[in-house]
Structure 1
Amino acid sequence: MQVLCRRRKNNPLLVGEAGVGKTAIAEGLAWRIVEGQVPEVIQDCVIYSLDIGSLLAGTKYRGDFEKRFKNILKQLEKEDHAILFIDEIHTIIGAGAASGGQVDAANLIKPLLSNGKLRCMGSTTYQEYSNIFEKERALSRRFQKIDIVEPSLDDTTKILMGLKPKYEAHHEVRFTNKAIRAAVELSAKYINERHLPDKAIDVIDEAGARCRLAPASRRKKTVNVSDIEAMIAKMARIPEKSVSSSDRDVLQKLDSKLKMLVFGQDPAIDVLTEAIKLSRAGLGAENKPVGSFLFAGPTGR
């Protein structure tokens, strides 16, 4: 909101990994404006979302896209309190440009951004920002970059608690508070290729859908921790027993289980398990690997 209130360069650019809530921030701002929960200076603002795909659809001839986009910009320019939101804003670079031409959506919007006649919010990922958007210096300098980091476990839990009534009404089930917390913690632990809160939301959504699809005679009315564990195991493609077991139990028996599978290498196993236990205890550096090991020896040992 502070960036939107600036006199110049009042165009915030939300940059973060997919699933961390960039679009949700823009939607949340729109909701707060409607509810009157914003400072007086932006109480009269209206946020418009631009769909580049719809603008490009059906543009057969050169100039069709430019005409459509210019009409939208003219209309927004007439409104004193309009804010344009462009999700995946890197897509405007090159959008609508004819073969060999330089007139694209980015070049059409630049003049309005430079003279302050239009406020624009955008969102993109770090990869698209560095590979595409940042290289368009004339456009990127008109925006104020805001890094959107992945929320913590506690913040994600609060987000899911706020969303819980909507998913309960949709799936006609009840999520326990422990199930919500388990969805956050287990998704953060086992689903590594995605980010919070998106992956935790998907877990409770899938768990609710699974309960609703069950036959009426076996349909559960409450989603508990065991249901979340089963869904995490399915999504992460790991044995369900691995999810339900506590770290303490697994780590206590780790060296003995390895020694039952690998014989005659007790010193090496002890070094390996000690490094893992130190890491899980939080004594290792977060930005460094758990350990780097070189297993040297003759073939067959």
Structure 2
Amino acid sequence: MKILEYPLVCWQLTSGAIFGQLLGYSQQVVADDVKSLKASFSEYIEKQMKDSWFYEPEIGSTRIKTISMDIRPHYQESDRIYPVKETLEVKIDAVYGSNESGYYECFLPLLHKNFYFYNEKDLDRLVEHFSRDTFHALTPDDIYNLLIPATPWLEQVKVKIPKRKKEKSQSGDYKQFKLLNGIAEKLPYSRKENRKGTPDAAWERGETIDHLINIMIAEKTNVLLVGKSGVGKSAVIHEAIRKVTSQQKSKDFFERNSFWRTTPSRITSKAKYLGEWQLICEDMVYQLEGARGILWLESFVMLALTGGEGPEDSVAAFLTSFIRRGKLRMVSEVTPEELEVMRRMIPGFIEHFRILKVDEMDTQTTLKLFEYFNQYINKRYSVAFTPKAQEMAYVLLDRFIKYESFPGKAIRFLMTCANKAMQDKELTIDLPQIIDNFTRQSGIPDFLLRDDLFLNEVELKDFFKEKIKGQDHVVDKVSDIIKVFKAGINDPNKPVATMIFAGPTGVGKTATVKAISSYFFGKGQAYEPLIRLDMSEFQHPSQIYRLIGSQGKLIQHVRQKPFSVLLLDEIEKANPLIFDALLTVLDEGILLDAAGRLTDFRNTIIIMTSNLGATTRSSLGFRSYQGHDFESNVRAFFRPEFYNRVDAILVFNPLEKETILSITRKELDEIQKRDGLKQRNIKLQFTKNLIEHIGEEGFDPKYGARPLQREIERLIIAPLGHLFIQNPAFVNRTITVDYDGKEVSLRY
């Protein structure tokens, strides 16, 4: 019987609690003493080895070393990072040891990081490098929360490993597939392992499943399922694997296949040095061949982007020869866009696969699936959807969730509704619950989703006039957009609206954008529905990838917030190449990255702000300006193909005196909502003289109303803060703020 020793990092939390983490794994346990801690880990490892495969420890003779370093924490404020004045001494505990190949591996339990190195003399320098990289831009509080409360020490968890029985194949005996078990999962899962509760059946796909089985098993050909996101490609593969495995249990079934699922990144994750991933791929192919294995590869496009520096020396290129000789059998799934990307990156690679198209279901079949799901959820959780709820769910998903297809988007949404109903202990899901759950997902208020609710035009305009002062023509245009959206007659293949806001600074362009995002998508969403990008950060041609690359800001934000207002601030400062890249977004509402992944903008409102024309005026913000000057400057700056894709150019008026006073009153009223005043039950009253004085001092011909907040902070907030500090018991009062022609005074 073999005995393995796993390194265990421990430290004392309290007098009766010891924390332990298995080195190199994410498993963590808290126990009363070290003996109980070891027993818990030993039991866990033994169970894992029975159920699947648990790696043997890769490093031996582990040691621990504490390294001190001085760092300067940072804090972030208003999208800027500032270092603090003082340095902070931090002690980093490093656990390291050597492996069979002679390399060292180091673990940093504090930072949840590990790295490989070749010379023990380099340990201190490398620990400091990785630590500084992590601590950069962390606040002192964040760093404090990371610090281990006590000095850690090392223990060893001993596990007895019984000898494994050798499995047999028709080609003879072969060893347990250690590498394959480490980089892939053996399928199929049992239905009991489906912990998410979502159905794993491929309803109404029987013909496609049988076709896939015939290609994989009878023809022994690699197959690629092609279809839009959400059509059920993964469900078809999973059901085909389950069906084949079930048939193989028959005694007269001649050839037995095994199925394994992995991703390109998992295949190469164990590679530590140059050329090792190629060896891993070779071993994987040989073990699959011995197991008569068929590989289900997820993230197919990443095959061409993983491994080498380009597609020509990627994992896909390396595996091509094995696929051509029949040594490797694969099944995978892609979208049509990803398929074209693969054809372009590695010509000829796709020719080794049979294409099996999975089309989106029609309306009648989709509604039938809704009923299947209703039966499933009712049988499993005793929750049922009414016919009206199912119909409304279909209507909402079909209209708004365009970036996914049925049935995938339906199953996910209906499962969310079912979970919410179980949480609220409701047995029936009707129309209100469907609307409520969709509002939570999208932020769109119910009166914009339901045809039976009336849109009050007076309340609509009052909402925007309260937040947008002196720009009635803008309010009218925004109201028209909302009416079109409410009626459901906006173009479904474009963003909800695309606009350019032009005019001098400080006249309410950004405030209007915030009001639109709040009205359209601000109901119930967990995230802020406004995406703001400063286009002055993208002035160089190379920076286009930072904006629309696979990890670009624009791509990431819109994928995370598909229902949002996208503000491209000072659009004229961006590089002209970015204007060309945005043409497809403005025209079709979609954008493809280098890997063929689609980002959908059809549920966004795109607003670009511009100061074009403002610098040519000597009287910015005053009544002497002409609106058509700004519009003509915008028209002259952008190329016609870009300008023509914008729905509207809205030129903001300069601020009149009455508008400035109205903005001043609004900003002063906002002060009353601050926590310090509400907690002390303080009420503020502002005299007419004060309002006029603040309006005059806070308005600047060059910067518009932007300096207003600074004046309010200086003349009112600062004296109030001083008053409260000097008088801690100052509560339940009414304060009148006045201006006597010379200075601002507080009377109470």
When normalised by structure 2's length, the TM-score is: 0.30
Distance change (3 Å), C-alpha of 1:160 and 1:86 = farther
The answer on 1:118 being equivalent to 2:328 is: yes
Distance change (3 Å), C-alpha of 1:48 and 1:62 = same
Secondary structure of the 2:352 match is: coil
The answer on 1:222 being equivalent to 2:428 is: yes
Distance 1:198 1:25 in 2: 12
Distance change (3 Å), C-alpha of 1:15 and 1:277 = closer
Match of 1:29 among 240, 245, 249: 240
Match of 1:18 among 219, 229, 234: 229
Distance 1:163 1:73 in 2: 39
Deviation at 1:79, TM superposition (A): 3.8
| RMSD (Å), alpha carbons | 4.4
Equivalence for 1:151: 361
Equivalence for 1:70: 282
Ranked by relative contact order (alpha carbons within 8 Å, sequence separation 6 or more), the top structure is 1
Equivalence for 1:49: 261
Equivalence for 2:145: none
Distance 1:194 1:184 in 2: 13
Secondary structure of the 1:146 match is: strand
Distance change (3 Å), C-alpha of 1:277 and 1:113 = closer
Structure 1: state its 5+ residue gaps.
262-272, 280-293, 296-301
Does the 8 Å contact 1:33/1:44 carry over to 2? no
Structure 2: state its 5+ residue gaps.
1-210, 462-483, 491-646, 649-748
Distance 1:62 1:183 in 2: 52
Deviation at 1:72, TM superposition (A): 1.5
Does the 8 Å contact 2:222/2:353 carry over to 1? yes
Distance 1:148 1:42 in 2: 30
Does the 8 Å contact 1:15/1:124 carry over to 2? yes
Q: What are the equivalent positions in structure 2 for 1:120-139 lying under 5 Å apart?
A: 120-139=330-349
Provide Cα deviations, 1:18-55, integer angstroms capped at 9, x if missing partner. 22211111112112223439xx9998443321232322
Match of 2:393 among 183, 191, 194: 183
Equivalence for 1:84: 295
**Identity rate of aligned residues, in percent?**
20
Distance change (3 Å), C-alpha of 1:42 and 1:196 = farther
Equivalence for 1:282: none
Distance 1:101 1:277 in 2: 44
- Amino acid of the residue matched to residue 304 of structure 2? I
Does the 8 Å contact 1:23/1:87 carry over to 2? no
Distance 1:160 1:150 in 2: 15
Does the 8 Å contact 2:435/2:446 carry over to 1? yes
Does the 8 Å contact 1:93/1:133 carry over to 2? no
Does the 8 Å contact 1:70/1:108 carry over to 2? no
Match of 1:196 among 395, 398, 406: 406
Distance change (3 Å), C-alpha of 1:43 and 1:162 = farther
Provide Cα deviations, 1:212-263, integer angstroms capped at 9, x if missing partner. 333xxxx3121123311332344343332343426xx99xxx9xx9xxx9xx
Does the 8 Å contact 1:16/1:148 carry over to 2? yes
Deviation at 1:148, TM superposition (A): 2.4
Provide Cα deviations, 1:181-212, integer angstroms capped at 9, x if missing partner. 43223311232333222221222122123223
Does the 8 Å contact 1:84/1:119 carry over to 2? yes
Distance change (3 Å), C-alpha of 1:7 and 1:36 = closer
The answer on 1:93 being equivalent to 2:304 is: yes
Deviation at 1:67, TM superposition (A): 2.1
When normalised by structure 1's length, the TM-score is: 0.68
